[in-house]
Structure 1
C-alpha cells in the first residue's frame, strides 16, 4: 500500500466534507446526522491516521452507516487530482476509457445468430463514447438476439444509458426521472427519437447480464429495460446505487462523493437504491452468459 499523508489534516477534511454534506446531500435530515457523526468521530480520534487511503476508508464506513448509500463516500486516488469539481473522477474515467476500446471491449457473434455486447468498465460520457457505442450497437443490430453484458460495469453517465436504450427500443420512451435536493427541480430522461446507425429495435430477444458488482448507471440500464418489459435480466442482484452524485476534491488525494438527487422510474415509481436490480433469472454471474444464450436460442426456436 502506498502511504500518502493526510497533509490538510483530518480536521480540515472533515469540516469540508461536513459542509458539503449539509449543502448538497439529497436528504438534508440525514446530511445533518452524518455531519454530526463525522465531527463526533473526529473528536474521538477515530480518524487519527497518517495514510490517506485508510482515512478515506474509515470516513466512508461512517458515511454509509446511516442509510447505506453506496454513492456517498470519500474516494482515495493514488495520483494527485486537481481541485476542480468532478476532476478526480473524470481523470480516472479517462484512463479507463483509453484502455477499453471506448467502453465496448467485446462484440461477438455466438451460435444461432445471438450477439454479445459487453459494456465495461463504465458507461462513459456520451461525448467520449458515442462513436464506439454507435459502431458496436449498429454491428449488433443485425443479430437475431442480443445479450448485453454489464457484469463488470461500475456505472457512468445517465445520458449514455439513454443512448444505449435508444438502440434497443422502437420509439421515444420515458426512461427515468431525476429529482434534485431542492425539491423544485426534476429532470426526465427519454430515449432518443433518432440514432446514428441502425437500431437493434424493440422486438427481438434481449437479455442483460448482471453481477454483484454491477453498479449505478449500469444498474439503471438494466432496470429501465427490465421495467419496460424489454429485457430479461440474467445473473446476480446488483449493488444498489440509484443516486446521481457529484465529486469535490477535499485533499490532493481524496474526493468527497455526494449524491445530489434520486432516481424514480416511471413504471415502478421507485428505484433500485439499496436493493439492487433483481434478476428475472437468478444464477451465478459466471454462468449467466451460457444461461442467457440458451434462453435466447430457445426463444428463437419457439
Structure 2
C-alpha cells in the first residue's frame, strides 16, 4: 500500500498497519513466486471494534458492498484458492438471506469481517463502514502536490515515527519507534537516533506501541546492525505476481555492531513492526522481550466497496529467507516472555547484568551494580 494513499486518501478508514511497497535502495526484485501450499497456519484474529459513527444502510448499499467485496477478494487476495472459497461462501450466505436483516453499517461490516475470516483467518483483513461518503478510489499514479504536502507535514509532526531517544543509566541506548510508516522523514529520524546512540554499550528498541508501516523503514533501521549485506525479508504480491527482496544497505554514520540489542514487544506490536522483530530474531541479532505480537504478515490495500464501505484486502505476504514462512496468525514469540509493562525493566536488567560481569574498573562496576539493584527491586 503506497504510503500517501493510506495516509491521505483513506485516512478515515485506513488502519495504517500495512506494509508499504514503494521502491527503495534496500529492495531488490526477485522472480520466483511462492507456492500457495506454503501458507502458514493461522489463528482466528480477534474482531476489530467499529470506528466512527454508525448509520442506516439501504438494501442496495448492502448488495453493492457484498458483491464488490467478493470481486475484490477473488481478483486480489494473496491466496487465490482461499479467495475463491470465501467468495463462494459469501454469496451462499447472501442467497440464503443471512444479511437481509442487517440495516446498519457497523453491523454489516462486523458480520462480513467475521464471516470472511472464518475462511481467511487473516489478521489484516477487515471491512469498515463510514457514515460519510468515502472519497473516490485513487487510481495508480503519483500523488498530488497537495497530498504530498499534507503527508510531509504529518510525517514531520510525528518525527517520522521515532517518538523518543534516550541514553539510560549504564550507557544503554533506548529508542521508541511508534511507526515505520514514513520513508524519507523516518530515514532521517532513524539516522539521528542511531548517531546519538552510536557509543552506547547496548541498545533497547521499543516497539510496544508500533502498529506497523513500510518495509523500507524496517530495512533502513536494520541496516545499522550489520556491517555486511544481509537478506532481511521477501514480500510476494499476487497482483504483480512478483516477489521483492529486502536487504540491508550502507547507512550514514557508524554501524551498531558488536553490541547487544533488545527489542520490546506487546500484543499491539503489529505488521511491519513484527517484521522488524522477526528479522532480527531469525538472524540472531536481537533478543525479543515482552509479549507475543499481533500476528499480521500480509500487506495489501484499502479498497472502496461503495460510498460507505471499504475493506483492507491483503494482496501479498512476507517470506522470511531463513524460516521460509512468517508470523501470520501466530505473532512473533518473545525470547523472554514478560508482560509488556515490565519489558523495559527486564531488558535493562539483562543488559546491566552483562555489563557488571565484564566491568574491570571498580568505580564503574559499583555504579552499575547500584543501578542494577534499583531495577531488580522494582
What is the TM-score normalised by the length of structure 1? 0.89
Aligned residue among 28, 36, 39 for 2:80: 28
| Contact 1:47/1:59, CA 8 A, preserved across alignment | no
Structure-1 residue corresponding to 2:287: 232
Count of residue pairs brought into register by the alignment: 297
Greater shift in the superposed pair: 32-41 or 208-217:
32-41
Determine if the alignment matches structure 1 residue 38 to structure 2 residue 90.
yes
| Residue 74 (structure 1) aligns with | 127
Superposition map of 1:108-257 within 5 A: 108-120=166-178, 122-181=179-238, 184-192=241-249, 194-199=250-255, 201-257=256-312
Match of 1:59 in 2: 112
Partner SS for 2:75: helix
Counterparts in 2 of 1:2 and 1:184: CA distance versus 1, 3 Å: closer
Q: Partner residue of 2:318?
A: 263
CA contact (8 A) 2:161 2:182 kept: no
CA contact (8 A) 1:86 1:246 kept: no
C-alpha separation between the residues in 2 aligned to 1:82 and 1:142?
A: 48
Q: How far did 1:126 drift?
A: 0.7
Determine the C-alpha separation between the residues in 2 that align with 1:33 and 1:270: 23
Deviations 1:245-275 (A, max 9, x none): 1221223443221111221111112111111
Question: RMSD over aligned Cα, in angstroms?
Answer: 2.7
Closer/same/farther in 2, CA of residues 146 and 272 from structure 1, 3 Å limit: same
Could you tell me which residue of structure 1 aligns to residue 34 of structure 2? Answer: none
Distance of 2:56 and 2:183 partners within structure 1? 36
Contact kept in structure 2, 1:202 and 1:230, CA below 8 Å: no
Q: Distance in 2 between matches of 1:94 and 1:31?
A: 36
Provide closer, same or farther for how the CA distance between residues 101 and 33 of structure 1 changes in structure 2, counting only shifts above 3 A.
same
2:9 match: none
Structure 1 residue 239, shift from structure 2 partner: 1.3
For structure 1, which segment, 126-135 or 57-66, has the greater mean C-alpha deviation from structure 2 after superposition? 126-135
Query: Is 2:64 aligned against 1:12?
Result: yes
Partner Cα separation in structure 2 for residue 76 and residue 127 of structure 1: 32
1:249, 1:127 → 2: CA distance? 28
The 2-side partners of 1:103 and 1:63 are apart by 32
The CA distance in 2 between the partners of 1:98 and 1:160, in whole Å, is 15
Deviation readout 1:187-214 (Å, 9 max, x if unpaired): 111011x213443x23211000011111
Partners of 2:189 and 2:132 in 1: how far apart? 28
Kindly name which structure, 1 or 2, has the bigger radius of gyration based on alpha carbons.
2
Contact 1:83 / 1:248 at 8 angstroms: preserved in 2? no
| SS, match of residue 135 in structure 2 | coil
Rounded to whole Å, the distance in 1 between the matches of 2:201 and 2:139 is 40
Shift of 1:182: 6.4
| Gapped regions of structure 1 (runs ≥ 5) | none
Using the TM superposition, name which of 171-180 and 126-135 deviates more: 126-135
1:289 matched to 2:344? The reply is yes
Greater shift in the superposed pair: 221-230 or 170-179: 170-179
Please list every run of 5 or more consecutive structure 2 residues that lacks an aligned counterpart in the other structure. 1-51, 141-146, 358-378
How far apart are 1:97 and its partner, in Å?
4.2
Distance 2:154 2:201 in 1: 31
1:53 is displaced (CA, Å) by: 3.0
Deviation at 1:65, TM superposition (A): 1.3
